[in-house]
Structure 1
Amino acid sequence: MTQPYIRFDKVTKAYGDFTVVEDLYLDIAKGEFVSLLGPSGSGKTTLLMMLAGFEPPTRGAVIVDEKRIDQLPPHRRNMGVVFQSYALFPHMTVAANVAFPLEMRGVPKADRKQLVDRALDMVQLGAMADRKPSQLSGGQQQRVALARALVFEPAVVLMDEPLGALDKQLREQMQLDIRDLHKRLGLTIIFVTHDQSEALTMSDRIAVFNKGRIEQIGTPNEIYDHPTTRFVADFIGETNLLDGTIETSDASGLTLSLPGGKRIRVAAGSNEAAGKTVTVSLRPEKIRLGADAGPSSSSGNSIPATILDSVYHGDHLRMVLDAEGTRLIAKADRRFGDLQPGSKAVASFDPADCWLVRS
């Protein structure tokens, strides 16, 4: 990364003896879309509030464009904020709601209408300027909140679970709309969510939070396909976590012995010592099911399995397998619908799809 636009430098936030964010370091580039992802209480919203100016850090520095902003009040930070609750004024029209930040900043009345019209056009609500919030759908209200955050042309837009109150279809549409705005306007966006799919869909990078620290930060592909810790592998999507003991280690990878005695190959580095217990992440969609090991069995892994459960998910079947004492979850094509509980099958997967993670 070049010179970061936003930097959290060893930031800590504590309330008495309770530490919410601990010694955190994070760089964000100008124009980047970064999602802060993690379970409730992991510190992601607290970090966002420190950047917005609603919470002061206990220790450390918050830097934007090479200037410390720790002591600046929120209205002097030039940041738009969008909350889950929308926080619209019910007695005011859409246009008046969007104009409110301009009034607070002393923008002349003659200039406000042009700025408001432009912001509403960005979110495709120009025709609804004279309506009240109660006359809008949930998605339209969220668009108004977004327009209000953009109207004064902020340097940064902060979003705290902004889509959490929307239904699935509308939430997915708003994800695409926000991503499109980010690309068209070159916005710097920090987006707080606990929804893994949302973060994977929208972000340039994802910072995965756990107990006040960042467990891993990377692109969606890196976070999903190459998790560095057991927590990240388990939190992002669904995965199989296999504990095994290293039997051999060479340049091509590792041979692991699973608790049931089955050996599998893992395409990992050769710097792991024999006898060490390690954990492997194997995504369900990487497992192939069949009546036999299949064409790639000579270089891959194959384990006889019994189907314990099969659940229809529309585009795939979620299979629970007993693979010689190891429980596996597989996402299978619908053509395997004849594999009912009790059916025998072979679960095959490639060594390259097994990823070592730290506990």
Structure 2
Amino acid sequence: MTNSFIHFHGVSKDYGPIRVIEQLNLEVSKGEFLSLLGPSGSGKTTILMMLAGFEAPTAGTIWLDGQRIHELPPHQRGMGVVFQNYALFPHMTVAENVAFPLQMRGLPRAEIADRVAKALDRVQLAHLGSRKPDQLSGGQQQRVALTRALVFEPKVVLMDEPLGALDKQLREQMQLEIRALHRRLGLSIVFVTHDQSEALTMSDRVAIFDKGRIAQIGTASEVYDRPASQFVSQFIGETNLVAGTVTGRSGGELSVDLGEGMQITAVPPVAPPAEAKAVVVSIRPERLALGEAAAGHANRLTATVDDVVYQGDHLRLHLSAGPLKLVARSERAASAPTVGSTTAVGFAAADCSVFAG
């Protein structure tokens, strides 16, 4: 047992013959905001449900603040939970739903009324306190569920896609609100999401799951700039993947043949195994310099512009360079490349991640 606040030790979970979580060892510090990110079926919601007490691990132990909790019922774990499907009491008003966890803790009536009013005002629902859940939109119901989980200021809050039903503006506002509550109250938050941007924006650390295992865990910059595998590089953000063959190694520098006479130099943050010859090179679109900006980079190619897609604050360019298909970003400028034109493409050796093919 370590000094971590939340600790999964050797936890596995089976549903019949299917194992969905495989020997999970995961630690969360007190006051940390950890996001669980991964594709559907990767096990992230199952982990949250085991921590909440709604699922039991098949093997292993779960600890909270030095206490084994995997055998405790949910109501004895003292956690606030926000479900993906809201789980509001349909016979209660909005205000009664929010007040419920405070009533269960025996707070004075006047304090309950004050805390409920402040909480509903914070999420712009004060005028809807007397309505029932079925009189609210999906986004409003989700805000009520979130408010109910936070109103008693628990030390641990578990969230399963809590902002999925909200529009963009309100979603971003609630992200800031959750971050502010996290910092002000010292909450430990375990947050399940499929939204990469949301995970990168809100989290102290991100755990990326693949088939019931942690593919990588680290800060937002670590998982984005130093992906541990091709899966991580593809899943977190957008990237260009190019197949190649290692033709030389010198210290941490690799020479890679991309075919049709194209050679690049790569200095990846994590080098592939020494025996790996066939590799996949990953380059983020924003790392590709175009036109005059390509000069001076270690790697330079000439590409044809196949398509230009307007994305508001930038242009998304689809490029062909011999056998390579690339995506790049360009600022909205009068000199931006046009469809059918050619442009120089440059990138640094350190901007390449390289994985065994």
TM-score scaled by structure 2?
A: 0.91
User: Contact 2:139 / 2:165 at 8 angstroms: preserved in 1?
Assistant: no
Question: Residues 70 and 270 from structure 1, CA distance in 2 versus in 1: closer, same or farther, beyond 3 angstroms?
Answer: closer
Q: Distance in 2 between matches of 1:301 and 1:154?
A: 52
Q: Note if 1:206 corresponds to 2:199.
A: no
Q: Residue in 1 aligned with 2:78?
A: 78
Contact kept in structure 1, 2:305 and 2:343, CA below 8 Å: yes
Return the letter of the residue paired with 2:67.
Answer: K
Is residue 10 of structure 1 aligned with residue 43 of structure 2? no
Superposition deviation, residue 339 in structure 1: 2.4
Give the match's secondary structure for 1:87.
coil
What is the CA-CA distance between 1:224 and the residue it aligns to? 0.8
CA change 1:336–1:55 in 2 (3 A) is farther
User: Offset of 1:272 from its aligned partner?
Assistant: 5.4
Q: 1:313 aligns with which of 307, 311, 314?
A: 311
Measured after TM superposition, the shift of residue 275 of structure 1 is 6.9
Per-residue deviation at 1:104? 3.9
Give, in angstroms, the shift of residue 68 of structure 1: 0.8
Q: 1:148-200, CA deviations, whole angstroms, 9 ceiling, x for partnerless residues?
A: 11233322000001111122222222212211211121111100011111111
2:350 corresponds in structure 1 to 352
1:67 aligns with 2:67: yes
Show structure 1 runs of 4+ deviating over 6 A: none
Hey, what's the Cα distance between the residues in 2 that align with 1:323 and 1:10? 47
The match for 2:146 is 146
SS at match of 1:258: strand
Q: 1:336 to 1:249 in 2, by over 3 A?
A: farther
- The 1:139/1:180 distance shift into structure 2, 3 A limit, reads farther
Task: Work out the CA distance in 2 between the residues paired with 1:166 and 1:29.
Answer: 29
- Is residue 84 of structure 2 the alignment partner of residue 47 of structure 1? no
* CA distances 1:250-288 after superposition (whole Å, capped 9, x unpaired): 135111111333111111377854872222210001001
Q: Which structure 2 residues correspond to residues 185-334 of structure 1 after superposition, within 5 A?
A: 185-251=185-251, 253-268=253-268, 273=274, 276-290=277-291, 294-297=294-297, 300-334=298-332
**2: CA distance, partners of 1:64 / 1:135:** 38
Q: Distance in 2 between matches of 1:41 and 1:74?
A: 24
Tell me the secondary structure at the aligned position of residue 62 of structure 2: strand
Alignment CA distance shift 1:272-1:82 (3 Å): closer
Give the fraction of aligned pairs with identical amino acids, expressed as a percent. Answer: 59
| Of 81-90 and 17-26, the range deviating more from structure 2 | 81-90
Counterparts of 1:159 and 1:250 in 2: how far apart (Å)?
47
**CA–CA separation in structure 2 for the residues paired with 1:128 and 1:36:** 32
Show the counterpart of 1:36: 36
Matched residue SS, 1:305: strand
Q: CA deviation at 1:123?
A: 4.2
C-alpha contact 1:203 1:220 (8 A) present in aligned 2: yes
Q: SS in structure 2 opposite 1:172?
A: helix
Larger mean Cα displacement after TM superposition, 336-345 or 27-36: 336-345
Q: Per the alignment, in what secondary structure is the counterpart of residue 24 of structure 1?
A: strand
CA contact (8 A) 1:247 1:274 kept: no
User: Does the 8 Å contact 2:304/2:341 carry over to 1?
Assistant: yes
Following superposition of structure 1 onto structure 2, how do residues 157-176 of structure 1 map, counting pairs within 5 Å? 157-176=157-176
Judged with a 3 Å threshold, the aligned counterparts in structure 2 of structure 1 residues 244 and 110 are, in CA distance, closer, same or farther, namely same
Q: How large is the RMSD of aligned CA atoms in angstroms?
A: 2.4
**Residues 208 and 216 of structure 1 are in contact (CA less than 8 Å); yes or no, is this contact kept in structure 2?**
yes
- 1:281/1:355 contact within 8 Å kept: yes
337-346 vs 54-63, greater mean Cα deviation = 337-346
For the structure 1 residues 87 and 252, does the alpha-carbon distance in structure 2 shift closer, same or farther, using more than 3 Å as the test? closer
Query: Compared with structure 1, are the counterparts of its residues 245 and 358 closer, same or farther at alpha carbon in structure 2 (3 Å cutoff)?
Result: closer
SS at the partner of 1:141? helix
For residues 114 and 293 of structure 1, do their structure 2 counterparts lie closer, same or farther at Cα, with a shift above 3 Å needed?
A: closer
Q: Which amino acid aligns with 1:321?
A: L
CA distance in 2, matches of 1:81, 1:274: 47
Q: Assess, with a 3 A threshold, how the Cα gap between structure 1 residues 76 and 125 changes in structure 2: closer, same or farther.
A: same
CA–CA separation in structure 1 for the residues paired with 2:71 and 2:275 = 53
Q: How far 1:227 moved relative to its partner?
A: 0.5
Could you list the per-position Cα deviations for residues 45-68 of structure 1 after superposition, in whole angstroms to 9, with x for gaps in the alignment?
000000000000000011110111
The total of aligned residue pairs comes to 355
What's the secondary structure of 1:334's corresponding residue? coil
When normalised by structure 1's length, the TM-score is 0.91
CA 1:352–1:3: 2 relative to 1, 3 Å: same
Could you tell me which runs of 5 or more consecutive residues in structure 1 were left unpaired when the two chains were aligned: none
SS at match of 2:259: coil
Q: CA deviation at 1:142?
A: 2.6
Residue 89 in 1 paired to residue 89 in 2? yes
CA distance, structure 1, for counterparts of residue 66 and residue 239 of structure 2: 40
- Separation in 2, partners of 1:35, 1:101: 25
Structure 1 residues 356, 247: closer, same or farther in 2, change over 3 A? same
| Greater CA drift, 325-334 or 228-237 | 325-334
Contact 1:48–1:158 (Cα < 8 Å) also in 2: yes
